[in-house]
């Protein structure tokens, strides 16, 4: 019994994972003095990349109807530091919401962003085990589509993200595993990945606070609300279930930021293989 109880605890614990919920709660709730510094709408089946300066908040909104968005993040000054979905899944959860953090790759390993508002936070777990904003799956891509169905379609999320980041000097090799914003997913009894219809309504939004200068990119998934399969025998193209997403970047008043500072990387010497190891 004690062993079973121990296994129910979080896999990773420690003060480095503590989050100041009072601070981030104020950022998410005290919206009166925010200043809009950038705002645009991403059309259906397309993508866009944009800057989110450190200390700013970025909101992704469903403005017309349910729509899944595939999100990538990079350090604006060094794209080798980028969002690490699998480690975020271990340090936080498979599905993210308010006060969860999006962590970066090695050797940087620090929070890139902290979620400060999620109008769908109360969705919880549905009867089939579905939850929102997942790191379980990844972006749809034309390679898998061609391999499994022979369909040549160039507006998958991978393709949209590639086109979005090209003006910033990045390439297909920089696109990485995503945070599936507004996407409802889970694992069935056979440990197989499933997707459900997106429950978002017009006006729902998801906000993150930039812990460093970020380049963000978002694709409006060609599956729209994922209520219908995209391909397969007898399946019609679900374009009518696709909706745009709005992105808004806010500057915050200095008094709200207080003494916040950009997170630092772990103080690890990084001497992989350069120093002989002795075990005696």
Query: What does the domain layout of the chain look like in residue ranges?
Result: 37-255
Nearest-angstrom CA–CA distance, 75 and 214: 5
Closest CA to 239 of 226, 254, 261, 223: 223
Do residues 133 and 179 touch, judged by C-beta distance below 8 A? yes
Model's pTM, two decimal places? 0.94
pLDDT at 202: 98
Cα 28 from Cα 26, distance rounded (Å): 5
Q: Are 189 and 128 in contact (CB under 8 A)?
A: no
Which of the four pLDDT bands, split at 50, 70 and 90, describes residue 1? very low
For residues 261 and 264, give the distance between their C-alpha atoms in angstroms, rounded to a whole number.
9
Per residue in 243-255, pLDDT (tens digit) is 999 999 999 999 9
Contact call for residues 141 and 101 (beta carbons, < 8 A): no
Distance (Å) of CA 82 to CA 207, 213, 239: 18, 12, 31
pLDDT at 233: 63
> Given this model, what pLDDT does residue 107 score?
95
Query: Model confidence over 125-138: pLDDT tens digits?
Result: 999 999 999 999 99
């Amino acid at each position: 019994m004690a062993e079973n109880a121990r296994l129910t605890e979080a896999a990773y614990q420690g003060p480095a994972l503590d989050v100041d919920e009072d601070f981030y709660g104020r950022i998410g709730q005290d919206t009166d003095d925010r200043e809009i510094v950038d705002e645009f709408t991403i059309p259906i089946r397309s993508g866009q990349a944009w800057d989110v300066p450190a200390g700013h908040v970025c909101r992704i909104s469903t403005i017309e109807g349910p729509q899944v968005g595939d999100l990538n993040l990079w350090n604006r000054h060094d794209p080798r530091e980028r969002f690490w979905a699998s480690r975020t899944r271990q340090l936080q959860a498979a599905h993210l919401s308010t006060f969860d953090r999006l962590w970066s790759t090695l050797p940087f390993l620090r929070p890139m962003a902290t979620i400060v508002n999620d109008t769908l936070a109360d969705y919880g777990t549905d009867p089939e085990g579905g939850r929102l904003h997942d790191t379980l799956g990844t972006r749809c891509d034309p390679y898998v589509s061609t391999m499994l169905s022979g369909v040549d379609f160039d507006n998958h999320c991978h393709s949209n993200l590639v086109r979005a980041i090209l003006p910033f000097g990045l390439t297909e090799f920089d696109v990485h595993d995503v945070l599936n914003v507004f996407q409802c997913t889970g694992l069935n009894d056979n440990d197989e990945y499933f997707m459900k219809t997106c429950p978002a309504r017009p006006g729902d939004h998801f906000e993150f606070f930039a812990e460093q200068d970020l380049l963000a990119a978002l694709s409006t998934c060609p599956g729209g609300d994922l209520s219908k399969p995209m391909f397969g025998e007898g399946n019609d193209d679900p374009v009518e279930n696709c909706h745009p997403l709005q992105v808004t970047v806010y500057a915050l008043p200095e008094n709200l930021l207080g003494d916040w500072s950009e997170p630092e990387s772990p103080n690890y010497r990084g001497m992989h293989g350069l120093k002989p190891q002795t075990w005696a």
